[in-house]
Amino acid sequence: MSQTSTAQTQQAPPRPITRQFVNFACFKLDPAFRRLPDLEKEHARAEFGALLAEPRQGLMCLFYSTVGLRPDTDFVLWRISTGTDEFQSQTKAINRTRLGAYLTTPHSFVSMTKRSMYIDKVDPFHTAESRTHIIPGKRKFLFIYPFVKTRAWYLLPLEERQALMDGHIKIGNKYPSVKLNTTYSFGLDDQDFVVAFETDEPKDFLGLVMELRETESSKYTLRDTPIFTCVQMPVDKILEQLF
């Protein structure tokens, strides 16, 4: 057999997997904006709506309202990209708008996608790509929160952590209407993870969280707040709610 034929029969090396950066940016409108003249508010609204509606190369951005659901935020941008430059570029553009002068960012979480070390044993259908590439926005409700494990958790043997997570994952599989997106913040932000659950059935998410509270692994949760209940809607609808 020729060297060329031998080379062709050799298995190609695995294709490198590109991981994503993820940002949940929460914005709050200063009530002073509502006291501006109507014409000025309409100009600001049109400018801001056009900015967010404009596609930005390399950036996936979804819009969620938290009006009436949390007192400290009005809307959330769920942003996904292969780098951080896109987040900063869009934020720079937001800051330069008339409406941006009246916005604060009380919360902003940064994380990256990464394949879980625990999931293969229980759910073999998850691939490296499915864990490192988020396909968001298919459901109305989004529930997000930062998540921190105790240091004692990381000192447990991997086999013990795996056994505890098996029970955790099996409960999650009982609620197929709830999609989990876990991203990792180690060294990037204050939390260990940012978890984001998508669903059209809030009652199922409530049931899931109640059951998870009863698992052995929950003893190793140090912090899982603040929690944000978000409703996906177009930018113009969000702006209607604000003023």
Residues 50 and 66 in one domain: yes
Residues 121 and 211 in one domain: yes
Using CA atoms, how far apart are residues 86 and 136, in angstroms rounded to an integer?
18
Tokens representing 196? 């984001």
Residues 134 and 181 in one domain: yes
Residues 97 and 131 in one domain: no
Using CA atoms, how far apart are residues 50 and 48, in angstroms rounded to an integer?
5
* Structural domain that includes position 210: 115-229
Residues 94 and 149 in one domain: no
CATH number at residue 196: 3.30.70.1030
Using CA atoms, how far apart are residues 112 and 21, in angstroms rounded to an integer?
4
Nearest residue to 190 via CA among 225, 240, 141, 237: 225
> 23-81 pLDDT, tens per residue?
999 999 999 999 999 999 999 999 999 999 989 999 999 999 999 999 999 999 999 99
Residues 61 and 153 in one domain: no
Nearest residue to 184 via CA among 114, 108, 126: 114
Evaluate whether residue 15 is within a structural domain.
no
Residues 194 and 143 in one domain: yes
> 166-185 pLDDT, tens per residue?
998 899 999 999 999 999 99
Evaluate whether residue 177 is within a structural domain.
yes
Least confident of 7-16, 48-57, 207-216: 7-16
Tokens representing 210? 């109640």
